[in-house]
Structure 1
Amino acid sequence: MRVGITGHRGLPGPTERLVRAALEERVRQYPSTELTGVSCLADGPDAWFAEAVLDHGGRLEVVIPAERYREGLPVGHHETYDRLRNSATDVHVTGLVESTEQAHMAGSEILVGLSDHLLAVWDGRPARGYGGTADVVAHAERVGVPVTLIWPAGATRD
């Protein structure tokens, strides 16, 4: 089972704890030998999910939206990003250079295409920019990839 992840970045600490617990619980529902997580490794749910998959004994595939993607991530996340990318069994790229909204959406489209199922850490609101979580969920629904929303009770975005 290949499970992809999309979700809001910059979640407050209490919401992070709720979302991490929900992701870990969801990952444990899959036999570790049958689970491959697919992630773009952004800070937040992408990385938390990737860590949960690896901790559970699953495999990790990574989608890199652009050559300069890492540069656009928070500096404090670079070590985690590098560690997770180095743990991946496969790395997929878009061929794009600049880390733009269009590149992020292109990466998410590849991620959805690789996935049998998509987990979305999403508050149900419209995307704040092109390629946001709402856009990725809408794309998955258009192409027929089942989506499970994860937004625990008590979670807030701002």
Structure 2
Amino acid sequence: MESAFQERLEQLERHVEPGPVMVRCGAGAPLAFGRAASASGHRLVVVIPTHNGVPAMPPRHDRMATGELLNLAARARLLSYDPNHRDSCVGADERMIATSGLLLAVWDGSPPNGRDATAHLVTYARARGIPVEVVWPTGAERGTGEAIPDPPAALPVREAAKPPGTHYS
């Protein structure tokens, strides 16, 4: 999945000025995208959840990925949403998309059906005139839970992105 993101980012750079890219923290596609963006030299902005203005603990399955994304990030953006609530996450994604110039979506092209958040977000972006680029890696299947490999050794990790004494678990 990372290679598909990196390939698409490189294709897009031929047509538009490279700029910062934004992703909501999490494992799976967000982490793969963050790694690809960083490897492509983009400034990564990681959106982290807050509760009453204080950063919220991500769900257990997203904690390692969130730590890695924060290490890769040039900047973190705090956004009020509940990472354990689907509708809250979709609302956060809508707010991110509304301030973006392009949506890069991992999507199989299925229609919005009330359950597929990606289909909803693609429709949301298009309705607002925000261009959408679709990535669907060769051989990908919905619901396969494709494993995301460990980062390559050459992937830069900027220690300055993590305040001294901070650790992630």
Q: What TM-score does the superposition give when structure 1 sets the normalisation length?
A: 0.71
2-structure distance, mates of 1:90, 1:20: 21
Q: CA, structure 1 residues 133+57, in 2 after alignment: closer, same or farther (shift >3 Å)?
A: same
- Aligned match of 1:26: 8
Higher Rg: 2
Aligned residue in 1 for 2:93: 108
Alignment coverage as a number of residue pairs: 136
Hey, what's the Cα distance between the residues in 2 that align with 1:140 and 1:44?
22
Check whether the contact 1:126–1:134 (CA below 8 A) recurs between aligned residues. Answer: yes
> 1:58 offset after TM fit, Å?
1.2
Residue 26 of structure 1 aligns with an amino acid whose one-letter code is R
Which one of the candidate residues 126, 137, 145 is aligned to 1:141?
126
Other-structure match for 2:45: 61
Q: Is residue 55 of structure 2 the alignment partner of residue 70 of structure 1?
A: no
* Counterpart pick for 1:45 among 12, 15, 29: 29
CA distance in 1 between counterparts of 2:57 and 2:123 reads: 23
Contiguous gaps of at least 5 residues in structure 1: 1-18
Larger RCO (alpha carbons 8 Å, 6+ apart): 1
Matched residues in 1 for 2:107 and 2:79: separation?
Answer: 24
Residues in 2 aligned to 1:135 and 1:52: alpha-carbon distance in whole angstroms: 24
Counterpart AA for 1:61: V
Residues 94 and 103, structure 1, Cα contact 8 Å, conserved in 2: no
What SS does the corresponding residue of 1:125 show, helix, strand or coil? coil
C-alpha distance after superposition, 1:49-99 (max 9, x if no partner): 11111112210112234544612x51xx42231121243233223323563
Higher relative helix content: 1
Deviation, 1:130, is 5.3
Q: TM-score, normalised by structure 2?
A: 0.67
Identify unmatched segments of 5+ residues in structure 2: 144-169
Identity of matched residues, %: 29
Q: What letter matches 2:37 in structure 1?
A: V
